[in-house]
Amino acid sequence: MPTGCFCYILSDHYSYLNQYGSTVATKKKKSLAVYPGSFDPVTNGHLSLVERAIHLFDELVVAVSMSSGKNTLFDFEERIQLMTCALKNKSYGAKVRVVGFEGLLADLAKELKAVAIIRGLRAISDFEYEFQMALMNRKLAREAETVFLMPALSWVYLSSTIVKDVARHGGDVSDLVPANVRKALDKKLGRSNKKKK
């Protein structure tokens, strides 16, 4: 299991004692978590969180929000396509799927019967906002716990905003995002697809 995360872990089985004092294992329902975000664009930090989450839950739904409250570089359909393509070559199989959603995250969590909402924390500065959102989601969807995960140490500083700023100013982001995202950024910003040295 990857290091660098703090959360609760759902076991595949739970045990109880029957009337004869023997331990009986009972199969639990599959656990599903939802990982929401604008993903404008998806970065290696986002993929790091996906990698961590799938070790904790049976299924993961990556939920791309239509209305993120941000002026996005990529439109809704583009962001869904970029995330889908970024995950395509991973060995996750049916454990991970990508959906788009509009409206309240809590409603999506209830619709999916999610047991957890995955949120990434990069620094203490993220925590106040994320804490407020976690409390509101708990009020609206009590069945889903918010689980905070940290990306790999290599990506703690990374955000979509930083990637876009670097790309807009001609910097090389090929080590920060999946290959399909780098090509999409080059095309969107009218740059050559050749990797800068």
89: how many CB neighbours lie within 10 A of its CB?
10
Q: Output the pLDDT for position 34.
A: 98
Q: Output the pLDDT for position 8.
A: 36
Q: How many CA atoms lie within 13 A of 10 on its CB side?
A: 21
The pLDDT of residue 27 is above 80: no
Query: For tokens 């239509």, what's the residue?
Result: 66
pLDDT in tens, 47-88: 999 999 999 999 999 999 997 667 899 999 999 999 999 999
Phi, psi of 148 (to 5 degrees): -95, 130
45/157 Cα distance (integer angstroms): 9
The pLDDT of residue 192 is above 90: no
Query: For tokens 């982001």, what's the residue?
Result: 173
Query: For tokens 């993120």, what's the residue?
Result: 68
Q: Output the pLDDT for position 109.
A: 97
Q: Which residues are catalytic?
A: 46, 70, 122, 160
Q: Output the pLDDT for position 127.
A: 84
Report the sign of the C-alpha dihedral through residues 106, 111, 113, 119, in that order: negative
C-beta separation of 157 from 122 below 8 A: yes
Beta strands in 8-58 (DSSP E): 13-17, 23-27, 32-37
Could you give the angle at the alpha carbon of 57 between the alpha carbons of 106 and 102, nearest 5°?
25
Beta strands in 38-136 (DSSP E): 59-65, 96-101, 116-120
pLDDT in tens, 142-164: 999 999 999 998 998 899 999 99
36/30 Cα distance (integer angstroms): 20
Q: Which domains does the chain show, CATH number per domain?
A: 31-188 (3.40.50.620)
pLDDT in tens, 159-185: 999 999 999 999 999 999 999 999 999
Beta strand 96-101 with 59-65: parallel, antiparallel or unpaired?
A: parallel
Average pLDDT, the chain: 85
